[in-house]
Structures are given as structure tokens and as C-alpha cells.
């Protein structure tokens, strides 16, 4: 019993000691700061999250990110910056995270935690609003350059693999240019009446169904060489999911008595909303030269009337529009109970493959299924988006025998036929063998030692009576809480707590007083530097400027190196320095600069600049 008593005391002491030395969670002030490059983004953008940690206070841990609702992490990077100013060293570690929004709405990046010196610091929460994008990757704010040709057209990021655009018919194409595809010439627009340059925008179907593919084309006509770089600003495809066609089409036509070279750029669109939708005009900036003015070409807006899908959709319809098929297979036709098989399902066809919804998976009590992410393969063939979505579902049979994986239905709307269609897989038979668990014999119960239980009184056929306690077990003479040792152990965590909080208080005062001590020592350091400068009169001008600049940095607790005269004067006025003294500071710094680079026999200013510097510092000390 005595050992049990001391064991209980030890456990209580350990628990209290652990509570005493547990990390103190403190709200981060300047130790850790988190910020984002933007608080209002679209689903096309990438959000950059930066976490900056003051590493000079110790060895901080890596930031612990909360659950990022509405975002996924694409990549991370880390950097460390060390700064030494007037002997004071500071170090900052920066973590950068690239986040991609996966949903629309208002989200909050919860506080990020960092541990340092036994403390846990938290950043402030960050609010981010995500709105619907255009379906295209985010573009830079400045206009983009179109048509890399004639060595003065840089590449266009909006249209990957954009080829060279010859400005005159029969001009050879650069061997290193991206893919150029000849296309059938389109009829010349009515508005083309002999201009040097012209741009038009067209779609192949102005009345599509919601989710049906349409082709948006920009055609640029040019009859002469452009004198410089053409700037291209694409439209915003609001209300569409967009996929760029990497190839660039080109052809030559004659219209209005002139030869035109035509470059055609295509974007595949899938309408996401119904009703009247307008695609904004695209614009191209043609630079001018000595003989011609610059001009800005704008295409006409494109009007669409997007039709809603008809009623009567089947139960398995989840929004797919196009033409699809579905197949299924298993990796093995025979397995055992609780073993796994892979149920491979593939949806193939043409349409918006990248955004198809998953099929409706059947369920059964004969097996358990575990879903997986779809492997998507989409491409453009003959101007249409085609591809496949493949699923590898893991199926675990739960009973033995012959079971069947039922058909999987997939419904879609076929815009060419104007009706819903349903395709399904064939049922798959699987033979499931027993895993042998039902043949395992139950081990016999251990024999009961009748001699050891002779004193026990039987209560029933399966229940024995309770044994008598051994004689060595006895009650304690005093309760545990009335013993001196118990209360003595309580003082240990109390002393540890008091020491911990005292050390924390001393640490806070030490860091809070760092700037104050630096400011108080600024004048003394400046006086010592002035005394040393008087012994070397050749460098008086340079020394005066350095001493005054260093004094101001230490006194104001911020670096003034690199500030313009106007910025420095404004800073001093904000600190309460009178205008006359501000002018003297500026004059002293100006004389210092002039004296550093003037010839040795030049008379820059009368008087001792070191004396003037000392007087300025004395007056600043009284003002600041």
C-alpha cells in the first residue's frame, strides 16, 4: 500500500510539473506576421501567402498552417535575411506559400502558429474574397504583345505556341517558330474595305446550349508591315469556361483590291450561364512611326443567346453535355473475402472533359468501395475537346460466393441530337472465395487451479467467489492529503510557475527596452565619434555626415540612410523638430556631401563643420 501511495504522489507531481512548464501561448506582435498579396481574387488567380518570422529572438519552428478552407497549396519556399545596423543584428525568416482557390466565396485564413523559446505565437486571421473567374489563367495588367514575328514581336502568353505572323504574303516562316496551321479562308467581312489593318471576332454557333462547345475566333487582317510591336488585349470570357487552341491558323485572301495576310487565333468556350451573353470586344494597338499615327483596333462585341437544357433529364444526369461513352473492367476476376480488387471505370468522348461530374456509383452490402481521384486526359482534335476520365475504385468483398458489380450509368445531353442519352457499363461477375476465418478452432479455456481457489466460494457454474485480501495489505494510518510529503510536492510546480513567469517578464522588458537604450546612447555615441573625428581633420566633412546620419538612425529607431532631403525633413517635423533646426540638419548634410567630393583647396563653407554637427546634435537631443 505504501508503494501505491508514493506512486500516486509522483503521478500528481508530474502532472502539475507538466502544466507548469507547458508552452505559454502568446499573441504574436512583431515576432510573426502573415500577409497576402491580394485580398480580392478570382478563381483564375494564384494567392501568395507570406509568413515572416523574427528569428533574432531564438530558433523558431516552421509555421503550422491551419486547414485552408477553399484553397490548396501548390508550392512553398523559404528565405532568410540578416541585417546589421550600427552593431545591432536582426534576422528574419520568410516562408512563402502559393495557394490556388478551389471554390468561390468569402474565406478566412485562420491564425498561423509558430513556436519560439517555449512560446507559441499566432498571426492575425486574413480574410480573402474569391469571385468567379473567366476560365483563363490570370493575365498581367499591362497589354500583351501579339504575334512574335519579324524579330520585333515578343511571344504572347495568352496563346501558347503562338507562331510567327508574316506581314506580307509568301514571307517565309522562322524555322524556330511554334506550330502554324493552314486553314480554309473565311469570307472577307463586309467591313473590310481596303484598310491597312482590321480585326474581327466571330463564333461558329451564336445559339448554343448551356455547356455546349463553341469556337471563338479572332482574325487579324494586315496588308502592310506594322512599324513596331503590336499590343493585344484579349476579351474577358465572363460566363464561359475557356480552353485555348495552341495552333495559330493563317491564310491569304484578296479583298477590296488588296492582298491581306490573315492570322486566326481560336479559343474554345463552354457557356456556363443561360440567356443573352456578350463577349466583350478584343483590341489591338498598332504603333505609329514618322510617317503614320498609332491606332487602336477593336473588334465588334459578340452576342450569344445561350439556351437552357430541356426538361426530362434522367436521374443519372449530372450536367454533362457532349457525346460520351463509358467502359468498366476489373484487374482480377477472382479474389477472397476482405481482399481488394480494382474496378477501373473510364468515361471517354468529346465535350468539357476537364469539368465532368463523376458517375453515380452503385452501392451494395456485398462489398465496400473506396473512391479515387479521376485521371483526366484532355486534348483538342479537329477543333473539338476530346479525352477521358479514368477512375480506379478499390472494391473489398465482404461475403464469399459469386457476386456481380452492377452496371454504371452515365447520362449526358447530346446537343447535336437535342436529347438526353444514357450509356452504361456491362455487369462484371466476380468469384469471391472464403478467407478461411470460419474454420479456425476456438482455443480451449485454460484449466482452473482448484487448489488456488479452494478457499473461494462458488456462486454459480461460471462465477467464483472473491478471494480474501492478503494480510500484508492494510489501510494507511493517515489519509494522503494529511501527510506532509503530499503538500511538500505541491510547492515544486508552484515554484516552477513563479520562475517561469518571472523569466518571461524579464524577457519582455529586455526586448521592450532595446530601442529605448539604443536611443539613449545615440548622443553619447555621437560625441565619442566627434572627438575621434577631430583628430583627423582631413576627413571632417565625411565624418560629420556619417555621425549625424548614425545619430538620427539610432535616435529615431529607424534607418535614415537613403532618404531624400525632403523625406528626412518631413520625418523630423513629424517628430516635433522645429523648422529652423530641420534646415540646419539639411545644410549640414549638404555641406558634408559637397566637402567629400570638392577639391582640396576649395572653400566650401566657413566655420568648423564638426562644431556645427555637435551643436545640431545637442539641440536635437533636447527636441527628441
Average of per-residue pLDDT across 308-335: 94
Using 50, 70 and 90 to split pLDDT, how confident is the model at 476? Answer: low
pLDDT of residue 54: 82
Helix (H) or strand (E) holding 377: strand 375-381
Q: What percent of the chain has pLDDT over 70?
A: 73
C-alpha cell at 157: 502568353
Which of 135-139, 183-187, 487-491 has the lowest average pLDDT? 135-139
C-alpha cell at 574: 513629424
The pTM for the full model equals 0.46
Report phi then psi at 571, rounded to 5.
Answer: -65, -40
The whole-angstrom separation of Cα 150 and Cα 172 is: 10
pLDDT at 137 over 70: no
C-alpha cell at 384: 473539338
Q: If you write DSSP's letter for every residue of 293-332 in order, what string do you get?
A: --EEEEPPPEEEEEBPPPS---TTEEEEEEEEEEEEEES-
pLDDT of residue 463: 56
C-alpha cell at 517: 537604450
Using 50, 70 and 90 to split pLDDT, how confident is the model at 204? Answer: very high
pLDDT at 577 over 70: yes
pLDDT of residue 622: 84
pLDDT of residue 417: 93
- Torsion angle, CA of 352/355/360/366, rounded to 10 degrees? 120
The whole-angstrom separation of Cα 196 and Cα 221 is: 8
Which of 271-275, 315-319, 604-608 has the lowest average pLDDT? 604-608
pLDDT of residue 492: 87
Cα-Cα end-to-end distance for the chain: 72
Bridge partners of 137? none
Distances (CA, A) of 289 to 42, 226, 228, 516: 39, 9, 8, 62
Most confident segment among 283-297, 405-419, 431-445: 405-419
pLDDT at 398 over 60: yes
pLDDT of residue 524: 85
pLDDT at 110 over 50: yes
The number of beta carbons lying within 10 Å of the beta carbon of residue 323 is 19
User: pLDDT of 241-273, one tens digit each?
Assistant: 888 888 888 889 998 889 999 988 899 999 989
pLDDT of residue 512: 59
Average of per-residue pLDDT across 277-292: 85
pLDDT of residue 135: 60
User: pLDDT of 8-56, one tens digit each?
Assistant: 565 655 555 554 444 433 444 468 899 999 999 988 888 999 998 887 6
Using 50, 70 and 90 to split pLDDT, how confident is the model at 5? Answer: low
124: left (phi over 0), alpha (psi -120 to 50) or beta: beta
**CA geometry: angle 593, 594, 598, nearest 5 deg:** 125
pLDDT of residue 278: 92
Report phi then psi at 455, rounded to 5.
Answer: -80, -10
Average pLDDT, the chain: 78
**Does residue 205 contact residue 383 with C-beta atoms inside 8 Å?**
no
Amino acid at each position: 500500500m505504501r508503494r501505491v501511495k508514493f506512486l500516486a504522489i509522483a503521478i500528481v507531481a508530474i502532472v502539475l510539473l507538466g502544466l507548469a512548464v507547458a508552452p505559454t501561448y502568446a499573441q504574436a506582435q512583431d515576432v510573426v506576421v502573415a500577409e497576402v498579396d491580394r485580398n480580392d481574387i478570382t478563381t483564375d488567380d494564384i494567392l501568395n501567402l507570406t509568413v515572416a518570422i523574427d528569428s533574432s529572438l531564438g530558433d523558431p519552428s516552421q509555421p503550422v498552417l491551419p486547414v485552408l478552407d477553399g484553397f490548396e497549396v501548390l508550392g512553398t519556399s523559404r528565405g532568410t535575411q540578416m541585417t546589421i545596423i550600427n552593431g545591432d543584428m536582426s534576422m528574419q525568416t520568410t516562408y512563402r506559400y502559393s495557394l490556388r482557390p478551389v471554390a468561390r466565396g468569402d474565406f478566412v485564413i485562420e491564425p498561423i502558429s509558430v513556436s519560439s523559446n517555449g512560446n507559441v505565437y499566432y498571426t492575425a486571421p486574413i480574410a480573402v474574397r474569391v469571385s468567379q473567374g473567366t476560365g483563363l489563367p490570370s493575365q498581367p495588367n499591362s497589354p500583351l504583345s501579339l504575334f512574335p514575328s519579324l524579330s520585333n514581336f515578343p511571344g504572347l502568353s495568352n496563346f501558347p505556341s503562338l507562331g510567327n505572323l508574316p506581314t506580307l504574303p509568301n514571307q517565309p516562316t522562322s524555322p524556330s517558330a511554334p506550330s502554324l496551321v493552314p486553314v480554309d479562308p473565311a469570307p472577307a467581312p463586309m467591313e473590310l474595305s481596303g484598310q491597312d489593318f482590321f480585326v474581327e471576332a466571330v463564333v461558329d454557333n451564336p445559339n448554343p446550349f448551356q455547356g455546349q462547345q463553341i469556337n471563338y475566333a479572332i482574325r487579324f487582317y494586315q496588308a502592310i508591315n506594322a512599324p513596331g510591336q503590336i499590343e493585344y488585349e484579349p476579351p474577358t470570357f465572363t460566363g464561359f469556361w475557356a480552353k485555348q487552341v495552341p495552333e495559330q491558323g493563317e491564310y491569304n485572301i484578296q479583298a477590296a483590291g488588296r492582298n491581306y495576310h490573315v492570322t486566326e487565333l481560336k479559343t474554345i468556350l463552354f457557356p456556363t450561364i443561360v440567356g443573352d451573353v456578350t463577349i466583350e470586344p478584343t483590341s489591338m494597338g498598332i504603333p505609329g512611326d514618322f510617317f503614320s499615327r498609332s491606332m487602336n483596333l477593336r473588334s465588334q462585341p459578340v452576342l450569344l443567346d445561350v439556351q437552357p437544357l430541356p426538361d426530362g433529364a434522367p436521374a443519372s444526369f449530372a450536367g454533362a453535355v457532349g457525346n460520351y461513352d463509358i467502359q468498366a473492367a476489373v484487374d482480377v476476376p477472382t479474389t477472397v473475402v476482405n481482399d481488394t480488387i480494382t474496378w477501373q471505370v473510364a468515361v471517354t468522348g468529346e465535350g468539357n472533359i476537364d469539368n465532368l461530374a463523376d458517375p453515380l456509383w452503385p452501392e451494395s452490402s456485398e462489398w465496400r468501395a473506396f473512391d479515387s481521384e479521376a485521371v483526366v486526359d484532355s486534348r483538342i482534335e479537329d477543333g473539338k475537346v476530346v479525352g477521358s476520365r479514368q477512375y480506379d475504385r478499390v472494391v473489398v468483398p465482404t461475403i464469399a460466393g459469386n457476386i456481380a458489380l452492377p452496371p454504371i450509368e452515365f447520362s449526358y445531353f447530346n446537343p447535336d441530337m437535342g436529347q438526353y442519352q444514357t450509356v452504361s457499363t456491362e455487369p462484371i461477375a466476380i468469384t469471391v472465395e472464403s478467407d478461411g476465418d470460419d474454420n479456425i478452432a476456438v482455443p480451449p479455456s485454460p484449466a482452473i487451479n482448484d487448489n488456488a481457489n479452494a478457499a473461494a466460494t462458488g456462486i454459480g457454474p461460471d462465477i467464483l467467489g472473491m478471494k480474501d485480501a492478503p494480510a500484508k495489505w492494510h489501510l494507511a494510518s493517515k489519509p494522503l492529503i494529511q501527510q506532509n510529503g503530499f503538500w511538500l510536492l505541491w510547492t515544486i510546480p508552484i515554484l516552477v510557475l513563479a520562475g517561469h513567469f518571472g523569466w518571461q517578464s524579464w524577457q519582455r522588458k529586455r526586448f521592450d527596452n532595446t530601442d529605448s537604450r539604443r536611443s539613449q546612447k545615440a548622443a553619447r555615441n555621437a560625441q565619442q565619434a566627434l572627438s575621434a573625428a577631430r583628430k583627423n581633420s582631413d576627413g571632417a566633412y565625411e565624418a560629420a555626415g556619417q555621425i549625424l546620419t548614425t545619430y538620427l538612425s539610432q535616435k529615431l529607431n529607424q534607418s535614415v540612410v537613403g532618404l531624400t532631403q525632403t523625406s528626412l525633413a518631413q520625418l523630423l517635423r513629424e517628430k516635433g523638430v522645429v523648422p529652423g533646426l530641420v534646415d540646419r540638419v539639411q545644410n549640414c548634410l549638404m555641406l558634408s556631401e559637397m566637402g567629400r567630393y570638392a577639391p582640396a583647396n576649395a572653400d566650401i563653407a566657413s566655420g568648423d563643420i564638426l562644431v556645427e554637427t555637435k551643436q545640431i546634435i545637442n539641440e536635437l537631443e533636447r527636441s527628441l
